């Protein structure tokens, strides 16, 4: 499954909201038979650090269309 968009406003960061949203996304993916979430993440250090803490890593097989559409994003995968 593809995690299309997830954002927590700066004033709400650090409250665990992003972690909870991401876990809900993983649960939904699992319920639908997915083995992983595909994430096209903006290349900010804070964003990448978040996804890594959540268990994601750079993918070796990016989805070509998504990678071309967002050339500055990092393509990541997170097992569910």
Cβ–Cβ under 8 Å, residues 47 and 59: no
Question: Would you state the pLDDT for residue 3?
Answer: 74
Q: Which residues of the chain have pLDDT under 50?
A: none
Please report where in the chains the tokens 């876990």 appear, as a residue. Answer: 23
Question: Would you state the pLDDT for residue 5?
Answer: 82
CA distance 61 to 64: 8
């Amino acid at each position: 499954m593809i995690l299309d968009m997830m954002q927590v406003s700066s004033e709400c960061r650090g409250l665990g909201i992003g972690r909870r949203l991401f876990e809900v996304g993983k649960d939904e993916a699992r319920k639908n038979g997915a083995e992983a979430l595909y994430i096209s993440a903006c290349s900010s250090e804070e964003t990448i650090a978040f996804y890594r803490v959540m268990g994601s890593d750079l993918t070796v097989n990016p989805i070509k269309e998504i990678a071309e559409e967002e050339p500055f994003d990092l393509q990541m995968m997170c097992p569910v």
